[in-house]
Amino acid sequence: MNTDFPSLATTTGLIVVVALSLQALLAAVSLLVLVKTPTQRVQFGRKWPWVLIILVANTIGPILFLAVGRRPAPVADTAAQAPANVASTVQGLYGSEPGATGVQR
């Protein structure tokens, strides 16, 4: 068996460094998102349990927070503000005069 151990150790070390870098980046991004997320949108109602989960659970903690740790933002109801019919939309876009082209002379 002809195995080159120094190159194997270098490859393994590189893989470990890349994996640890990705884990640290994922934790940093999820902590940044946690800081910017309002407390009302965080599951459990408090942020400190998520800090513990992110830091203690290594790779799974940040993924868990990003997937299920935040509630969706409330959506404004734009349909209630929309005009009731096509005539009012046309009037709002082109003016109140019928036949007006919007070009002033």
pTM of the model: 0.62
Q: pLDDT tens, position by position, for the chain (105 residues)?
A: 556 656 667 888 889 889 999 999 999 999 999 999 999 999 988 999 999 999 999 889 999 999 999 888 887 766 555 556 777 777 778 877 655 555 554
pLDDT for 102:
52
Joined tokens for residue 3: 């195995």
Q: Is 70 in a helix, a strand, or coil?
A: strand
Nearest to 68 by CA among 93, 45, 43: 43
